[in-house]
Amino acid sequence: MIKYKKIRGEKRRIRKIKQWIDDHLDLDIAYLKRYQCEYVKFWVDPWDRLSLTNSQYPQPQGIYKELFFNGLLQIYMSWKEQLDFLDQPYYLKIWLFENDLKRSQVVCAIGEKIEYYQNLFEKPLDETSLSIVEWQEVSDMMKKVNWEKKIEITLYERDWLGAPSDYKTQKNYEDTKKWFNNNVIEKYREVKRIDGDEYYIVETDNVWIGYIL
C-alpha cells in the first residue's frame, strides 16, 4: 500500500508554483529550432521528486491544483503567441494525465516532430468526453480548453521479468514478479508481435489532449 507524505509550507509552495510559471512563459525558440520540440512539466518541489520508497507526495489538490492548471494555461497561451510569430505549422497541446496529474505538461513541436507527437498516443475505443464534474476546483479553466481523449500505451516484452538467476536475491525476484503480475499480466490489453518480438500492450493512463483554437 502506498503511503502519502504530507505537504508542508503552503506559502512557500505557492511561491514556487508562481515562480515555475514565470520561468517558463518564454519559449526557447533557439532550442525549439534546433531540436524541433520543447515541453514543460510540473517541475516544482516536492511533486517532481522521484520516490525511492513506498511513500510519495499526493497529487496537487486545492490551491495547488488551481495554480498548476492556471500555469499550464498561461504557458500554453504565451507559447502560442510566440509560435504564431514563426509563421510555420506547429504542434502545441496540453497533456493532462488523468491518473497522474503531476505528469501533465505543455508540449510543442515543429517540422518533422509534429507527426511524431500527433501519433504518440492511441485513440480510445470509447468516445467519452472529459467530465468537468471531476475537476470542480478548476472547472472554469477546464471549460476554456477543447479536450480530446487519448490512451497512453506501454509495451513490455514477454520475457521482461526474466529468471530468478537474473536477480541478486530471491526476494528481489519475488517483489518484481509481484509488481509484474499486478501491473502487466492482470492489465494487459493484448499481446502484439513487433519486429519478431512479442509484447504485452498495457493501457497506462488516459491522456486528455487540450488545445485552444
The pLDDT value given to residue 108: 98
Q: Are 67 and 45 in contact (CB under 8 A)?
A: no
Positive or negative, the Cα torsion across 206, 46, 183, 156? positive
The pLDDT value given to residue 170: 95
How many residues are recorded in the chain? 213
pLDDT in tens, 105-158: 999 999 999 999 999 999 887 777 766 556 656 667 777 889 999 999 999 999
Q: Are 202 and 160 in contact (CB under 8 A)?
A: no
pTM (2 d.p.): 0.79
Residue 3: pLDDT over 60: no
Q: Distance between CA atoms of 166 and 180, rounded to whole angstroms?
A: 15
The pLDDT value given to residue 40: 94
The whole-number average pLDDT for the span 80-108 is 93
pLDDT in tens, 165-201: 999 999 999 999 999 999 999 999 899 999 999 999 9
Residue 2: pLDDT over 50: no
- Of 27-31, 79-83, 107-111, 130-134, the least confident: 130-134
Residue 4: pLDDT over 50: no
The pLDDT value given to residue 102: 82
| Residue ranges covered by each domain of the chain | 3-152+205-211, 157-194
Q: Cell for 117?
A: 507527437
